[in-house]
Structure 1
Amino acid sequence: MTKLSVNINKVATLRNARGGNNPDVIKVALDCEMFGAEGITVHPRPDERHIRRSDVLQLRPILKSEFNIEGYPSKEFIDLVLSVKPHQVTLVPDSPEQITSNSGWDTKANQSFLIEILETFKQAGIRTSVFVDADVDMVEYAAKAGADRVELYTEPYATMYPEDPEKAIAPFIEAAKAARNLGMGINAGHDLSLVNLKYMHDNIPWIDEVSIGHALICDALYMGLEKTIEEYKKCLDK
């Protein structure tokens, strides 16, 4: 079964735009669980422009579903993750000023760096995932670095999907097969939506988890959060 992890960054962005605690990020996370999401994802950035360190600390003891923290492994990020001990940490190569993740790791060029960081988290009992492009070499070097999973960066798929779904999915199938053959778990995320999620899942049904935030929260403005999560989960039905 492919799990749905809801990225709640956009909820925190809306809260921070006005100050106060409306919408309540913690309540939204708990509601996502109640409505059927199997996980919650957060991406705390150094400037706390959406998810704050305090949010992360509040969420860990109350979530019943899987908690995934993603981010660039700066010292501050590493310290936060080690103190919270989520179920999974996802390493992304973002610089602090990036609006959102827009590429995967060069796992070959950053091999030594990733080996050290991944070992640190694994010793703490935290499952590790590395954000990579749909490139077999990058998957293989993520495995060599010791990652438990890769998260496939799916924006290129989402961009090409309306024009040519078969061409769009092809490199992702190859990357996912490579990960499976190496004994790695497979996650996917970035620009997945109700438009393109089912096709990806139909072609790569062994994906362990999809992390979806922006599109899901936008859909919830029209359909409501409960109905939206229900529709996303339908896309992941076999």
Structure 2
Amino acid sequence: MCLPDADADPLETYLRQVTTGQPGGRILLQAAPPAAPSLATMVRLVHVLGLVVALSVADHRANAGAPHLVQGLRWGARVAPPEATTDLLRWVPGAHHRTVSRAVDRALRDLRNASDRAVPTDPYTAILTPTNNNTVGVDVGHPRDVLAGQDDPVLLLTTLAAKYPGVTLTVLLTPDRCKVQLPRESRPSAETNAGPRKVVFTAPTLAEAVAAAGSAPLEPADVPAAQGRNDDS
């Protein structure tokens, strides 16, 4: 579509073009979220491929009434190779998307960037493949499940993010453990007198890691003002 001039409204121009020669015609518009699986399904699917999931979540709901600041909950998801457990900063997705489904959709579109690194170099080693993929979840065949029966981990992550308004939390999910990373400690270490640093809570399941992180709130001075762009990149 070409705009007749720089000041023309794109939507008005489009409607004028599609209704030309059709007096009384109707235009039906549909706004639907991406056709992406649930977060739990994506996590289990990624795990059976020998990969891990890095998530970011930030709660900016306290910014209501300040339209120049980021609003609502923001999400990010990224599929990462196994070595992301030791090089997490390289794979942090950042919390930019307004919905979980948009974050999941973006992560799956970039899946091959991580899956290429999980392919065995030995030609006699089988490539991991999902055994079942349906609307309920993925039967990954692992003896342990980091989600531990959580069909909707979004609620756990939303609850945790609400305890740290304006702070971007990072969660790394591997098949057998979960890491929740907070930006800074609530106070300097008494032993080393060191300044604030990142805090990581590790547990066998997401629920346990979230519980541990939620029991160690940051002091108000450590919670930055929520700023940034109010968009969805």
TM-score bracket, normalised by the shorter chain, equals under 0.3
Q: Report the TM-score when normalising by structure 1.
A: 0.24
Q: Which has the larger radius of gyration?
A: 2
**Which protein is richer in helix relative to its size?**
1
